[in-house]
Structure 1
Amino acid sequence: MNKFWVVFLLLITSVSVVFSQNQVINQSDTQNDIYLNWHLKSPSNDLIFGAEVERAYNLIPQNKKATTIIVAVLDGGIDIYHEDLKGNIWVNTNEIPDNGIDDDNNGYIDDINGWNFLGNSKGENIDYENLEVTRIYKLYKNKYDGINPKSIPANETESYNLYIEAKKIYLKKLKEAEQTRDQLNSFESSYLASKELVIDYLKKDTLTIDDLNTIKSEDKDLMRSAEFLRYLIEIDFSLDQIEEFKEYNNEELNYHLNLDFNPRAIINDNILELSPTYGNNNVVGSQSEHGTFVAGIIGAVRNNGLGIDGIANSLKIMALNVVPNGDERDKDVANAIRYAADNGARIINMSFGKELSPQKKLIDEAILYAQQKGVLFVHASGNDAANLDKEKNFPTKIINKTLSVDNWITVGASSMKNDLNFVADFSNYGKKSVDLFAPGVNIKSLVPDNKYDIFDGTSFSCPVVAGVAALIWSYYPELSASDIKYIILNSTNVYSDLKTNKPTITTKKSKKTSFKNLSITGGVVSAYKAFLLAESKYNKK
């Protein structure tokens, strides 16, 4: 999380506002280009701790041919018409566009570039959704609220325990959101009152630090107001930032945590039934910023003189819209996984996650189905600064509580310098559960309408690894998903002696830890070393 926001939160609230994987931190597009393609650079060649993608390309012989790899991006919508992406969008050649017929008999009508699982046949789409804990609490509230646990039938124990867990999380989130609303309003009132008082004293409509420094008065309220405004100017505060927080807080209260909100009514489906009889082919949707950004990291057209360079140069992006502003539904994710596997995707990028998964069985079965078809999953670890060895995060590679699939990579976020802030302060981690780290701080990529921006998040370290996987696989298409995982995990840049701050989203001082203790490999993805390992170990395969 950007340090400014932490300071800002200290001013307005005593509770932490945690940005979920699909609520990214946004920075101005007018920043200089120090961050342009930094995630592709090399610690040895550039002294920047990127994924060594350009160094890998310098290693690849010019006469070495690449095979096109299809990467399915399960996310929000994707701007498939973006100037820097449209050349790399997957096209279903077995479907005739806009004829209203399922030409390839795959159950989806006019699925030219993928599918939108958040809409209906009328073209209506879901923009906002509840959190999963809200849906679970709402589903079981009337049935289980106030009931004696000893009276629960044995066959309902699992659903009752799920309800209790969801209720605890939901009520905590609701309380925090309501407190934040009140504190935001209080802060805004204090700011406006302080500004009015100082402007009235100085007889000026705009204020500078020099103006504030001229104030000398025995009026304690005036002096406190001047000091308050001086600090806000020093940290580049503006009223727009309050409005941004209020907008997010309103989304929490009106949509994410609202028990009366039911956007799924436009689809009117059975959430337990996987039948692909819903959705539409509008893969752009109305919530396409996050998905476009993710897709750009993997597959922005390289060396075209526009925007950024993607990681893989021989790929197609399959757009699968499953993530609203809120939590994704297990059914949609499971259907999208099956769609991707059935339509030739070799890699599935999943830059989303949540705390509970009530229909986990549907996803488990879809993962095993895709595993049989040779698909590699790449999943973001999440942005809660949590130890995933102890905390839940779904979806997961653990099937039926015991089986761990070997075609799954979980990714944490790192930054461009190997100092105490090398690991992103928001990144989830885990010595047993996070495989490796990849660049995920100050990443520049695509946003809708031919624009570009800079965001932070494990959502964006995840596609770095997916892109590296696509790059390696395109030159070694005969390899299996487990081979690609082995190559990536055994070719990282390992920093055994590096000390870094342990991720935290609280205002407490960070504790130092060894970087090697935060993931299985103790390393950062390296396309260069992955290519070397593939060449030496698998060239004869």
Structure 2
Amino acid sequence: MYRHLKATAAFLLLSGSVAFAQDGVSSVAEIDKAYHNWYNLDMKQDKIPGVSVNRAYNELLVAKQPRKKVVVAVIDSGTDINHIELQGRVWVNKNEIPGNGIDDDNNGYVDDIHGWGFLGNAAGENIQYETYEYVRLLRQLAPKYGKITSPQGLTEAEQKEYNTYLVTRKNFEEELTDRLKTKQNLDAFDEVLAICEQLVTGHLGKDTYTVEDLKGISSTNQDVMRARNWLVQKYSQGFTPASFREYKDYIDKFVNYHLNPEFDPRTEIVADNPEDINDTDYGNGDVIGPRADHGTPVSGIIAGIRGNGVGIDGIAENVEIMALRAVPSGDERDKDIALAIRYAVDNGAHIINMSFGKDFSPQKHFVDEAVKYAESKNVLLVHAAGNDAKNIDNADNFPTKQLQDGTRASTWLEVGATSKNLKKNFVGEFSNYGRESVDLFAPGVDLVLLAPDNKYDKMNGTSFASPVVSGVAALVWSYYPELTAVELKNILLESSTKYPRLKVYYPTEDPKSKKKVKFSTLSASGGVVNAYEALKLAEKVVQQKGVL
């Protein structure tokens, strides 16, 4: 699961700088207007390096009508299909009767009205948290290899497993050490916070206080003044109690769930065999689930209602979202992803958006077969490149278009993230890249997006660059249904906006190691998806095919 990055207010916390996420807001007007819908803008007309969606509607599509309803399957954490900005944009399985407990259309799924949840059971219980894949692998391999110190005497297959064990153990130990240190610092901060708040509330004579109350404190009690000064400093650095609690809870989840080898919700809730692709009798029709905070913004970029004056503008209009819940907080299972892809294909999806990923894929063959199946059925797959600031030409990032049989999926697009700053910080500092592995870029920094419960938030991540491409693909395909998935993919690549002389910082997690590189070298196309140019090129391609 890619960790999507909310807009943050950073402040110094004991041992270092810690970012605190803000809660979603009920009105988009509460978020800086400079970031509203910037991904829809045009570089020439608006001086903003968006993907020219508004220009496309205003100049190319005014007198045209879409000719195809495009279904985009969003394989994600869950989607708030009740969000006001998604009304009329959610796929409905018309061959299924809601709530009757019968598989009316005989597709293998009971009451799958808007999609399917692969993280639960028929009783309505759902997985919210999961371990990371390398924790699951470590749990599986440790009993056999935990006491082995040398690969000598092991078979070739065992040596491969042993090497996997060593890597997973290293990853686990490093990550757990880091998270436990952060947890310790947060706990210490929490103790200091409690003491300081007790002192100032006692002085003020009330249980709550404002920053103005703090600044107005004057006392001969040095403990009160030290508490007052400490709190004023933290608030000036961006601290809020709510954001602190949220971050503390975020770190606790790593320790209690993601990095806990003893945590195994799959056995208790789903009760399937994750290594048996034919064991499919699980899941439910709940596509919202316990955490719709990721699938909702993804879906909004693709299909959010345009021009309603409520909040954001999505990219495509003649589109429906098929919601497939397969990504927990933690790492997704290969089997769930494979089955979700197959569900999407079998139930009429034209595009599949996949804003998730992980470093290990023990059942990659499950996913590869599903990808090849989608490819054979003319389905476009769009995948987020990931948020680790890595060159994924040389680093694992699953799922991938590179298949185990040595071929590459021909209908796959891998997407990195850009910002609205067409300068050295144009590429998101977190975004993965790769001249061979990443196909193109799209806006994924400082996007104002949907949040569950009719709220909005500002977020970052390749998770949101991917649906920008899915949205543009859906827009083009809705007007030019004659295109094949391969043709559509090539159109998006060829028509992407190039910035041949632009030099940007390599994405990096280390600010001290920043160096510049040509933007054109960070992906195969060297460009950013562009709806206006894609529609123009689609017109030419279709005319050349002789179908217009």
Q: Please give the TM-score of this superposition, normalised by the length of structure 1.
A: 0.91
C-alpha displacement at 1:267, in angstroms? 1.2
Once residues 214 and 105 of structure 1 are traced to their aligned partners in structure 2, the CA distance between those partners, rounded to angstroms, is 70
Of residues 508-517 and 344-353 in structure 1, the stretch that sits farther from structure 2 once superposed is: 508-517
**2:116 alignment counterpart:** 115
Note closer, same or farther for the CA distance 1:183–1:312 as it changes in structure 2 (3 Å cut).
same
C-alpha displacement at 1:479, in angstroms? 1.1
Q: Is the 8 A contact 2:8 2:22 kept in 1?
A: no
**2:256 alignment counterpart:** 254
SS at match of 2:448: strand
SS at match of 2:43: coil
1:530 is aligned to 2:530: no
Once residues 409 and 64 of structure 1 are traced to their aligned partners in structure 2, the CA distance between those partners, rounded to angstroms, is 27
Q: Percent identity?
A: 47
C-alpha displacement at 1:216, in angstroms? 12
**2:374 alignment counterpart:** 370
Once residues 544 and 384 of structure 2 are traced to their aligned partners in structure 1, the CA distance between those partners, rounded to angstroms, is 32
Q: Is the 8 A contact 2:66 2:318 kept in 1?
A: no
Q: Is the 8 A contact 2:217 2:228 kept in 1?
A: no
C-alpha displacement at 1:425, in angstroms? 1.5
SS at match of 1:44: helix
SS at match of 2:396: coil
C-alpha displacement at 1:450, in angstroms? 2.1
Once residues 186 and 377 of structure 1 are traced to their aligned partners in structure 2, the CA distance between those partners, rounded to angstroms, is 46
Count of residue correspondences: 533
Q: Which residue identity does 2:244 align to in structure 1?
A: I
Once residues 478 and 175 of structure 2 are traced to their aligned partners in structure 1, the CA distance between those partners, rounded to angstroms, is 44
C-alpha displacement at 1:473, in angstroms? 0.9
Q: Is the 8 A contact 2:7 2:446 kept in 1?
A: no
**1:66 alignment counterpart:** 67
**2:505 alignment counterpart:** 501
C-alpha displacement at 1:223, in angstroms? 8.8
Note closer, same or farther for the CA distance 1:504–1:213 as it changes in structure 2 (3 Å cut).
farther
Once residues 22 and 160 of structure 2 are traced to their aligned partners in structure 1, the CA distance between those partners, rounded to angstroms, is 36
SS at match of 2:309: coil
Once residues 513 and 156 of structure 2 are traced to their aligned partners in structure 1, the CA distance between those partners, rounded to angstroms, is 46
Structure 1's unaligned 5+ residue stretches are none
**1:39 alignment counterpart:** 39
**1:124 alignment counterpart:** 125
C-alpha displacement at 1:459, in angstroms? 0.7
1:141 is aligned to 2:142: yes
C-alpha displacement at 1:25, in angstroms? 7.4
Q: Is the 8 A contact 1:385 1:504 kept in 2?
A: yes
Q: Is the 8 A contact 2:24 2:451 kept in 1?
A: no
Matches within 5 A, 1:53-452: 53-58=53-58, 59-147=60-148, 148-193=150-195, 228-265=230-267, 266-275=269-278, 276-400=280-404, 402-452=406-456
Note closer, same or farther for the CA distance 1:215–1:427 as it changes in structure 2 (3 Å cut).
farther
Once residues 203 and 279 of structure 1 are traced to their aligned partners in structure 2, the CA distance between those partners, rounded to angstroms, is 53
CA displacement, residues 335-367 of structure 1 (integer Å, 9 cap, x when unaligned) = 000111111111100000111111111001110
Note closer, same or farther for the CA distance 1:36–1:245 as it changes in structure 2 (3 Å cut).
same
**2:49 alignment counterpart:** 49
Once residues 17 and 336 of structure 2 are traced to their aligned partners in structure 1, the CA distance between those partners, rounded to angstroms, is 33
Once residues 136 and 250 of structure 1 are traced to their aligned partners in structure 2, the CA distance between those partners, rounded to angstroms, is 22
SS at match of 1:379: strand
Note closer, same or farther for the CA distance 1:285–1:201 as it changes in structure 2 (3 Å cut).
closer
Once residues 405 and 45 of structure 1 are traced to their aligned partners in structure 2, the CA distance between those partners, rounded to angstroms, is 36
RMSD: 2.8
Runs of 4+ more than 4 Å apart: 1-5, 14-17, 24-29, 191-217, 221-230
Note closer, same or farther for the CA distance 1:210–1:404 as it changes in structure 2 (3 Å cut).
same
Q: Is the 8 A contact 1:298 1:464 kept in 2?
A: yes
Q: Is the 8 A contact 1:16 1:506 kept in 2?
A: no
Once residues 214 and 61 of structure 1 are traced to their aligned partners in structure 2, the CA distance between those partners, rounded to angstroms, is 61
Once residues 335 and 503 of structure 1 are traced to their aligned partners in structure 2, the CA distance between those partners, rounded to angstroms, is 33
